[in-house]
A = this chain, B = another copy of it.
Amino acid sequence: MTATLLHHTYGKSAVRLTTVHRHDDGRHDLAELSVDIELEGDFGRSYTHGDNSRIVATDTMKNTVYALARQHVIVDVEAFAQTVARHFLDSTDAVTAATVSIRQAGWARLSDESGAPHPHAFVSTGAERRTAQVRADRDGTVTVHGGLDDLVVLKTARSGFTGFQRDRYTSLKETTDRIMATSVTAVWRYTAVPADPTAAHDAIRRAMLTAFAGHDSLAVQQTLLVMAQATLDACAEVAEITMTLPNQHRLLVDLSPFSLDNPNAVFVATSEPYGMITATVGRNAE
């Protein structure tokens, strides 16, 4: 054997569960999660010798998620991710670190006949996901990230792109009036988990949307920083944030061959290729 293991992890992905929490007044709370578990530890002999004596079966990981979901009311995914991560450190000596990532689907309550929130009927809010990731290691270090995926936004005014570098292969025209559309992915690190993580998540999301809508964009890069700044302002417990903003281009159609003008009225919506803008933003030392 000339090969040597430099790094290895294993786990279970896409453990999907739905939990219902029934209140005394007949109201049900619903949570739908997809959980990924990834373990680091003393598992090398499984790779080198097929010796599984230190291996927790990934099937057991799946069972564990369901069993822990029964024993803990899932209110905030950040807390449940910690519960799951700690379980594997506690239950298995070979584990040196456990990372638990959760994606939560959104469900909005329907209305009942009187217009009040319905106690047990829901409609999906779409592809957007609330995310959480917890990494806990045997030394007691716990890192908690919140986040969101697939928050799709678009503005039809107050976005431009001018003054960029021109070279032999540049054909793009400058514009002070374009459509900007993107699907926001954001992951932020908490210095401490807020007292109400759901309220914090909602405040961050609202701050991002307000920043997106309210500023004059000179570049997607600038928009990213404005949204990151809004996040830091909205939640004191956020130490830093990584955002990814694909530029989902809407291209102005050239209608001049058909003797028609097109004063920013009709655009082709495209999926590919797309611009990809990403940055990690932290707080200034003071």
Residues of chain A touching chain B, judged by Cβ–Cβ distance below 8 Å, are 1-21, 28, 30, 32, 36, 38, 43, 46-60, 62-64, 66-67, 69-71, 91-92, 94, 107, 110-113, 118-128, 151-158, 161-172, 179, 209-210, 212-214, 217-222, 224-225, 228-229, 232-233, 240, 242, 246-247, 250, 253, 255, 257-258, 260-262, 264-284, 286
B121 touches A167 (CB 8 A): no
In the complex, the chain B residue whose C-beta lies closest to that of A105 is B269
A64: chain B residues at CB < 8 Å are 169
Point out the residue from B5, B161, B229 that lies within 8 Å of A52, measured CB to CB: B161
A-B contact pairs, 15 of them (CB 8 A): A10-B278, A46-B219, A52-B161, A53-B163, A56-B164, A60-B165, A67-B168, A67-B255, A70-B255, A107-B154, A120-B158, A121-B212, A124-B126, A125-B126, A168-B258
**Shortest distance between the CB of A170 and any CB in chain B (Å):** 5
A250 touches B18 (CB 8 A): yes
Known A-B contacts A70-B260, A246-B13; the reply to A30 vs B156 at CB < 8 A is yes
How often does this chain occur in the complex, in copies?
4
B214 touches A3 (CB 8 A): no
A278 touches B9 (CB 8 A): yes
Complex Cα distance A210/B123, Å? 11
B70 touches A225 (CB 8 A): no
**Shortest distance between the CB of A185 and any CB in chain B (Å):** 13
